Structure formats: C-alpha cells, structure tokens
Structure 1
Amino acid sequence: MADLAAPRRATGGVSTPPAAPAARRGPSKRVAGRAVEVAFLVPAVLYLVLFFGYPIVKNVVMGFQEYTTRTFFTGEAPWVGLANYAHVVGDAVFTRSVVNTVLFTAGSIAGQFVVGLAIALFFHKRFALSGVLRSLILLPWLIPMIAGTAVWRWILDTDNGALNRILSALPFVDVRPEWLTSTSLALVAVIGVNIWLGIPFNMTILYGGLQEIPEELYEAGALDGATGWRAFRHITWPLLRPVVTVVLVLGVVYTLKVLDVILGLTGGGPANATQTIALASYMSSFREFDFGAGAALGNILIVMSLAFAIVYLRANRRAVDE
C-alpha cells in the first residue's frame, strides 16, 4: 500500500495516466507525412502526364498512322507502319534538312556558348553599372520572337537593310550581300540571329555558376601562380563544368526544334538552304496536312535529342572520373 500511494503523493495526490508509447504515434505520423507528400506530388504528376506524356505518346503513335484532315471527321487513322518514315527519309530534301539541322545547331550552340561565357566572365568582375548592363543584355531574351525576327529581317534586307547601309558607308567596301536570299549566306545569317537570341540564356546561367565559385580558391591559386588563363583552366572550368553540361544539353535540345526564327526570316528558303527537320515537320503537318509524316519527322528530332544527351552526358561523366 505504501508503495502504491507513493506516486500519488509525488504528484499532489492526483494520478496521471501513463504516456502513450512513442511507437504508437510513429506510424500515424509517417502515414500523415506520406499523405502530404502524395498530395503535393499528384498535381505535378498529372500535369506531366497530360501536357508532356500524352503528347509524346500521341506523336509516336501518329508517326505510324495515316493521319490527315479526314481523320478529324471520320476518326479513322489507318495503321501504315513505317511508311511515313520511308516517305520522309526518301524525300529529296531530307538529306539537306539533316545537314542544315546539324550545321544550324552546332553553329548556334558554339556561338551562344562562347559569347555567353565571355560576357559572363566579363561581368564576374565588379564594376559600376554592371547590373544595368546585364539587364540590357537580357532584352533579346524578353522580346517576342516574332518581333525580333521582323526587326532582323529589316536589318538584313539587301536593298534597304541597316547592315548593308553601314557596309556601304565604309571605305573600300563595294558589296551588298544578299543575307537572306543567297543560298550560301542565308544559313549563316539565320545562325547569327539565333546566336543573338540565345546569348542571354547562356550568359545568365553561366554567370550564376561563376558566382558560386568561392573567391578563396582564386586567392589560393594566385599564391601558386595560377592567374589569368591558368586560373580559368584549373579553377573556373572544372567547377563550372556541371553548369556547362546543363547549358549545352538544354541548348541543343532547344535549338534542334527551333522553328520561329527560320520561319520568320527565310521560311526555309532560298532553295531549301535553311530548311531543317523542325521546319519540314511543320510544313508537312500544317501546310500539307500530312500529320503522320510530320509526326515521323518530330520523332526523328526526339531521337536525335536523346542521342546527343546520352552521348554527351556519358562523355562528360567519363571526363570527370578521369
């Protein structure tokens, strides 16, 4: 009896119920936490499935069907297997489109990355009005694409373009290049405009990566003689490589499917000199209304993007491991 009364006296004569074991509260908390996670995850998954998954699957299926305007009325899309792929690959313009796509992508990515990295390194040094100048460089990225291509179409006009007028005003220059109507210059001009449009993206991402590199590393490297080019090679570039990977992969995937720049400047001409796979897919789908052939070309672009991403990521991982 004395032993039983002791706990009551210690608590002022009021008995307290025993505390619930922690093991009983644990599972309920985990279930509630998992329910919250699922509640936040479901909308994102539904969004990806509806706006990314379904269009990709539908495009892949359409590539194997005879999908035309009649399908919208009858609902019938006969299965034709690889006939659409044989048709687009056998087209006389397909080889030219592939070459133009590779040249356009390689030239655009090289120019955008080199100029964007140079500008990012320039703004990495603090000076007056650097923030204002960085904001101005973002203007090409903010201007609507149609407006930007319309301005560049005027600038590159052979007779009344601003660029040719400036060239004519220079001494010892007596040429008026046909930037958009020459089969040898049209692709170069389109690549130049696309470089101008892509520089802000490259500069912004690379500048953010440079900001994450600790200044102490440069100070320590300077003590060992690593300044200038040596500092860039042994400090900046290795630490910036993950950001470079993101910039290049996203840049290639985006550039492969560029349509509005070419459509607004040349429309694929002259004589298919600027015709790309993305433009050919658009023409097949919305000019000829052969949606099956357009989907087949779109699927070829998807395969090219995946192939580049896989090859580059593996090569970059191997370089990092070495």
Structure 2
Amino acid sequence: MNGRVARKSSQLGTYTVKSRFSQKMPQYLFIAPAALFVLLFMLYPIAYNIVVSFQDLTLMNLRSGGEFIGLQNYKEMIQTEKFGIALKNTVIYTAACIFFQVIIGYLLAVFLNQDFPFRNFFRSIMLLAWMTPLVITGTLFKWLFDVDHGVINYFLVSLHLIDAPINWLGQQDTALAAVIMTNIWIGIPFNMILILAAMQALPSDVYEAAKVDGASRFQTFWRITLPLLKPALLIILVLGIIYTFKVFDIILIMTGGGPVNATQVLPFYGYELAFVNFDFGASGAVATVILVILICIALIYLYLIKREEAE
C-alpha cells in the first residue's frame, strides 16, 4: 500500500515538473535567439581572448595553436614603454572628453528645455553630429585641422589669434588635443539628449516651491536639480566612459596613433599588436586589461547606485 502511494506521488511529481516545463517552454524559446547571440558573439569572444592572452600565439603558429606561457604577455606588456604611453593617453583622452561633453551637454539641455519657437527643430539638428558616421566625422575634422588648407587655422590667423598655421595633427603638443576636440563634438548631442530627457521628468512642483521660498538659481541647481539628476548623470558618465575609453575609429582615421605615439591609446595599441605585429597573445593581454578596467568602472557604478538606493 505504501509502495503504491509512493509510486503515485512520484508520478504526480514528475507530471508536475513536466507540466511546468511545458508551460515555460514558449518563454525559453523566445529568449533562445538572444541568449544564443550573446553566447556566440559576446561571451565566447571574450573567453577566447582571455585564453589567447596566456598563449604565445603569432601568425606563425596560428593554425597549430599557441604555447601556454602564463603571465608572460602581461609582464612584457607592463614593461613596454608604449603601453604606459597608451594608458596615459587613454586616461587623459577619456577624462577630458567626458568632462566637456557632460558640461556642454548640460548647458545645451538647459537651453533646449526652455519654451521658444522651433525648439524641436534645434533638438533634431543637434543630433546630427552624433548620428554622422565616425569615418565621415574623422575625415571632416582631419580636413578642418589641416595645416595648409584647414578652416580652423584660417579663422585663427584671420582673427590674429595665431601668427602662423598650426600643424595640429602633425606635432606631439597638439595632436591629442585635436582628437579630443573632435570626440567632444561627437559626444555632446548624446549627453545633451539624455540630460534633457532626465530634466523633463523632474517634478515641476518642487521648483515652484523653491521659487516661492526665494531660492536663487544656484541654490535651485545645487539643492534640487543636481540631486534629482544624479541617477541619470551616473548612467551618462558610465556609458560615456565605456564608449570613450575604447576609442579606435577617430584615432585610426585622424592620426594613426602618431605622431611619435602622441595619440596612442590602448585599443589602438592592441590593434597594432594584432594586425601589424601579428602578436595575438600580446594583443589579447591588452584587450583583457581594457576589459578589466571597464568592469571595475561598471562595479563602481553599481556600488554607487546601491548606496543611493539605501539612502
């Protein structure tokens, strides 16, 4: 008797599990394409790159597979002067771009948040810089910064701000600054539209109460606008840092990492190791370092979000 009851209970449990699985099968089928895409085109390349970074993999042994050499690629990378230059340029490039993009983007968002004629038209025009392909933008600014026929030198000389044309992209002192200005122009609309969307979601009654209490514009900004925009600004900063830190297109088009490594950045350094020197192991090490840095930035963002929610 007890055996029959046990068998029936087992059959009932098996039926319940099958029933639940059959009910959830459509859900699994819906997410299967996305999961397969993430697995094949995101997780697998990342895992393979990490494995390659521990191998002596070059063009000569690419087919047979590289020999496992442990942390040798990382040791050689750290000892290379070019890596230090690339890391320093990447940090300077990212910090300068993010600072000016957020500040100018915020000012434009404040302006476009006002009620005036053709406001939507100007919002649309601002997005053109961000929507333009980077190849076109890089080529355009390369011409604008040209030493002989560039428009920027023409206006600076015409306004008597400089005595002679500046070789913006051909000398170490100005090449990185020219690339930074180019990327600032590209990223301003992205920051502006996100900050503008966050501003329009702010409660108006809080500002009315502050106006009644006699709060100044600075007090309103510091005590109300900035705290309410903090979550959106954190997202903008994280996305901007990730997007800017992995710069490659603009560097390739405008300077090619030169002159004399003045615009050498980590992603371009990894590209040169892989497709110029054909040292895929060393390139994988550089890519892994970039991945670790960006993961740390994302973890800092998650920590700040959790702390803000706790408060």
> With structure 2 as the length reference, what TM-score do the two structures score?
0.89
Distance 1:28 1:85 in 2: 50
Aligned equivalent of 1:215, options 191, 204, 212: 204
Aligned equivalent of 1:267, options 256, 262, 269: 256
Aligned equivalent of 1:228, options 200, 205, 217: 217
Distance 1:27 1:96 in 2: 59
Task: Write the letter of the residue equivalent to 1:202.
Answer: N
Aligned equivalent of 2:284, options 283, 295, 308: 295
Measured after TM superposition, the shift of residue 204 of structure 1 is 1.4
Aligned equivalent of 1:62, options 26, 33, 52: 52
Secondary structure class of the residue paired with 1:69: coil
Q: Deviations over 1:126-147 (max 9, x none)?
A: 2111111111111111111111
State the match for 1:40 in structure 2.
30
Distance 1:230 1:27 in 2: 60
State the match for 1:175 in structure 2.
164
Secondary structure class of the residue paired with 1:185: helix
State the match for 1:206 in structure 2.
195
State the match for 1:84 in structure 2.
73
The answer to whether the Cα contact below 8 Å between 1:245 and 1:313 also exists between their aligned partners in 2 is no
Unpaired runs of 5+ residues, structure 2, are 1-15
Classify 1:288/1:30 alpha carbon distance in 2 versus 1 (closer, same or farther; 3 Å). same
State the match for 1:49 in structure 2.
39
Classify 1:158/1:224 alpha carbon distance in 2 versus 1 (closer, same or farther; 3 Å). same
Distance 1:27 1:55 in 2: 35
Distance 1:33 1:106 in 2: 50
Note the aligned Cα RMSD (angstroms): 2.1
Measured after TM superposition, the shift of residue 28 of structure 1 is 9.6
Q: Which moved more, 1:306-315 or 1:76-85?
A: 306-315
Q: Deviations over 1:167-210 (max 9, x none)?
A: 11114641322211121111111111111111111111111111
Q: Deviations over 1:114-160 (max 9, x none)?
A: 11111111111121111111111111111111111011001001121
Aligned equivalent of 2:134, options 139, 142, 145: 145
Greater than 3 Å deviation, 4+ residue runs: 26-33, 315-322
The answer to whether the Cα contact below 8 Å between 2:257 and 2:268 also exists between their aligned partners in 1 is yes
Classify 1:28/1:302 alpha carbon distance in 2 versus 1 (closer, same or farther; 3 Å). closer
Classify 1:316/1:226 alpha carbon distance in 2 versus 1 (closer, same or farther; 3 Å). farther
State the match for 1:278 in structure 2.
267
Task: Write the letter of the residue equivalent to 1:147.
Answer: I
Measured after TM superposition, the shift of residue 236 of structure 1 is 1.6
State the match for 1:134 in structure 2.
123
Larger Rg: 1
Distance 1:175 1:66 in 2: 50
Classify 1:27/1:130 alpha carbon distance in 2 versus 1 (closer, same or farther; 3 Å). farther
Classify 1:172/1:38 alpha carbon distance in 2 versus 1 (closer, same or farther; 3 Å). closer
Q: Deviations over 1:24-78 (max 9, x none)?
A: xx99996665333222222221111111111110111110112222344x33221
Distance 2:57 2:18 in 1: 52
Unpaired runs of 5+ residues, structure 1, are 1-25
> With structure 1 as the length reference, what TM-score do the two structures score?
0.86
The answer to whether the Cα contact below 8 Å between 2:94 and 2:244 also exists between their aligned partners in 1 is yes
Aligned equivalent of 1:309, options 286, 298, 303: 298
Measured after TM superposition, the shift of residue 312 of structure 1 is 4.3
Distance 1:239 1:199 in 2: 21
